[in-house]
Amino acid sequence: MPKLDDDHTGARIREQRKLAGLTQRALAARIPYSYSLLNQVECGARPATSDFIAAVARALNIDVTTLTGQPYVTELQRDRLAELVRPIREALDLYDLGPNPDLRARPAAELVAEADRLCAEVRATHLRNAARALPGAIAELTHTASLTPATELWQALASMYRTAHDITVKLGYYDLSAVALDRMAWAAERASDPCLGAVRQYMRALVYFREGEYTIGQRLIASGHGIIRQAEETREALAVCGQLHLGASVIAARAADATAVDQHISEAQTLAKRTRDASDVHWLSFGPANVRLHRMSAAVEMGQYDNALKQARTMRLPASLATSRRAHFLIDRARTEMETGHTEAALEHLVEARRAAPEQTRYHPGARETIRGLVHVARRTPDTLNHMAAWVGL
């Protein structure tokens, strides 16, 4: 079995705890987890779950990424992905500079289509392709929208900013993803599009979900619902409203509010019956399948692993489900299988996630922690697990 290095989440928790001048018992008193679990996580005997990390980060008043070690720079450099981030950062800074006299942009219709294509690339988990094309497309669309402002162009630019957010989140650049969401709000306001504005609040809520600030996340969801009420009751508005409820369900689950989880899932289910598969609406994957997936995710977040596993084993995912969403389910299922002692099944689902979405899986903190947990519990590490551990840089 390979020996795990000391550059893991538990070791970083230990380091940050000591920097804060806290003993293990003092930190355990500040989080809703036991001293025993904290001790096991710090020494690498147990993987650190997302909710555990968020609780510790909040108690220590630091960013979650300080504990997860994101972005995973070594792997990003090896994959030649780190070099794609700076052009995105620069493109996001063009928003208020107006037209560029030295730029020859494609026709407006092509740029609008390009915004949709880039969303599709991210949903297909082709992060490299999307990251390469995005900066130039943002520059062209910023130039064109400044010259000839039109609702369709501002909507497309907001979509490109949303794609910038999606890419940077998946690669672990959370500060840059926040900038992208600010730019999305700027463009959505110029488009006078309440649905886009509500989608932005949904995505902001997920940022606070990751950071463990559930009250702020819930307020952002409520704000999104307030914005969507300004729109006509179209299929688009219903799908966005439903996705807001799904976001609220996982936030409520992380806050251990089972009643609120049931209420939000029920509301989303009612809306999904009206919209059916609405994965074409803002690439949110909303529909009956996503409601079922969020019900399972809520169980995972509440530590109800037997319940989550039961749901996972009866889950039938439609062929139309976005690859990114399918990979997320497989990573959740792998964690659930590991937590219930089914280590071989956990590894199988991680391998399947890697096969479906290699870039997303490699940089997903949950996948990395699950792999680390499997390595720790394995008496004899299978070659496949050895390869997975080396692949994510453990």
Other CB atoms within 10 A of residue 320 CB: 11
The pLDDT value recorded for residue 5 is 56
Q: State how far the Cα of 186 lies from the Cα of 84, in Å rounded to an integer.
A: 24
Banded model confidence at residue 225, pLDDT cuts 50, 70, 90: very high
The pLDDT value recorded for residue 387 is 85
CA dihedral 308, 311, 312, 313 (to 10 degrees): 130
Can you list the domains of the chain with their CATH numbers?
A: 1-69 (1.10.260.40), 322-394 (no CATH)
**321-351 residue pLDDT tens:** 999 999 999 999 999 999 999 999 999 999 9
Q: State how far the Cα of 382 lies from the Cα of 34, in Å rounded to an integer.
A: 32
Banded model confidence at residue 386, pLDDT cuts 50, 70, 90: confident
* Residue 211, token pair as written in the block: 């950071």
Confidence check: pLDDT of 76 > 80: yes
71 cis-preceded (ω within 30 degrees of 0): yes
The pLDDT value recorded for residue 380 is 63
- Whether the CA torsion 279, 256, 18, 40 is positive or negative: it is negative
- Global pTM reads 0.93
Confidence check: pLDDT of 2 > 50: no
Of 84, 62, 280, 49, the closest CA to residue 171 belongs to 84
Banded model confidence at residue 45, pLDDT cuts 50, 70, 90: confident
The pLDDT value recorded for residue 376 is 85
**85-118 residue pLDDT tens:** 999 999 999 999 999 999 999 999 999 999 999 9
Average pLDDT over residues 227-239: 96
**355-379 residue pLDDT tens:** 999 999 999 999 999 999 998 887 6
The pLDDT value recorded for residue 124 is 96
Which of 10-19, 131-140, 268-277, 368-377 has the lowest average pLDDT?
Answer: 368-377
Confidence check: pLDDT of 389 > 80: yes
